[in-house]
């Protein structure tokens, strides 16, 4: 299965990324918890192993399966996942009894000297009780899950830092509703969660006069909590007011709040 890609839509609240897909409307569906949801690893040493906790607060046992995937986000914001063997997971499946809590140990065994942060997803799926997990050599599995948590994992080299830049911009005044199309690139070595955007534009109006303006904050909410991974690009389309004065855009400057 290595090499197969899984495609999904990135949730804008990536910092607390959580997916719940219900196949049955039943109380057991909510029968486990995972924490933490964001975990950082060192490429080597003691920090290469981290522990997460699964907890079953219910009175019925649950069956869980754990997997790790490489994580990429394309220019349009779609998340791509690819199976990886760069982590060990212990255990990678278990039955969690009533009111039971268990540790899950993840160890990075991949590149010990990465030149930038590496991003992954840790997926914990609740399966129907009495499910038999297929052997790895079997072609594919049609296992159906009841509940799924998706945590963010980052393998972080020393002194990794985000560096987000605006690399392209274009006015689209022919669109039924006016838009500003921009491309951001994270040239840095760590991801950045975008927040607190401000955008200044300079150009000319229909009379050829110079105009400077700032895009209203309400139009910049499309950036809120978007995750720009290391060495990645993202396209954004910003809606403009109907009376937008610029006819020609010459300069654009965007800034974000610095991560804490």
Q: Which residues contact 208 (CB under 8 A, 6 or more apart)?
A: none
What is the residue-level pLDDT of the chain in tens, covering all 260 positions?
A: 333 333 333 343 433 344 444 333 344 445 799 999 999 999 999 999 999 999 999 899 999 999 999 999 999 999 999 999 999 999 999 999 999 999 999 999 999 999 999 999 999 999 987 655 555 555 445 556 689 999 999 999 999 999 999 999 999 988 778 899 999 999 999 999 999 999 999 999 999 999 999 999 999 999 999 999 999 999 999 999 888 999 999 999 999 998 76
pLDDT digits (tens, 9 = 90+) for 195-250: 999 999 999 999 999 999 999 999 999 999 999 999 999 999 999 988 899 999 99
* Domains of the chain from N-terminus onward: 5-155 (2.60.40.10), 164-255 (2.60.40)
Please give the distance of CA 199 from its chain centroid, rounded to a whole number: 24
| pTM, full prediction | 0.82
Query: Is residue 6 within 8 Å of residue 78, measured between CB atoms?
Result: no
DSSP string, 25-87: -SGGGG--EEE-SEEEE-SSSGGGEEEEEEE--SSS-EEEEEEEEEEEE-TTSEEEEEE--SE
């Amino acid at each position: 299965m290595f090499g197969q890609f899984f495609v999904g839509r990135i949730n804008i609240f990536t910092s607390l990324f959580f997916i719940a897909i219900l196949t049955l409307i039943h109380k057991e569906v909510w029968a486990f918890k995972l924490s933490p949801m964001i975990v950082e690893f060192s490429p080597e040493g003691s920090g290469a192993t981290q522990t997460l906790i699964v907890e079953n607060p219910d009175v019925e046992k649950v069956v869980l399966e754990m997997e790790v995937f490489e994580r990429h986000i394309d220019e349009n914001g779609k998340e791509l996942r690819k199976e990886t063997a760069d982590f060990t997971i212990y255990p990678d499946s278990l039955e969690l009894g009533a009111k039971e809590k268990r540790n899950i140990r993840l160890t990075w065994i991949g590149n010990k000297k990465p030149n930038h942060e590496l991003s992954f997803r840790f997926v914990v799926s609740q399966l129907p009780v009495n499910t038999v997990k297929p052997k790895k050599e079997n072609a594919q599995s049609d296992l159906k899950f009841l509940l799924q948590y998706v945590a963010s994992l980052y393998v972080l080299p020393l002194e990794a830092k985000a560096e987000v830049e605006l690399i392209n911009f274009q006015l689209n005044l022919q669109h039924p509703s006016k838009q500003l199309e921009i491309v951001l690139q994270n040239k840095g070595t760590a991801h950045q969660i975008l927040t607190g955007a401000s955008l200044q534009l300079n150009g000319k109006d229909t009379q050829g006069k110079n105009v400077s303006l700032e895009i209203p904050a309400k139009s910049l909410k499309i950036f809120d909590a978007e995750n720009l991974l290391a060495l990645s690009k993202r396209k954004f389309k910003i809606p403009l007011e109907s009376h937008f004065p610029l006819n020609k855009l010459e300069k654009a400057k965007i800034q974000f709040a610095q991560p804490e």
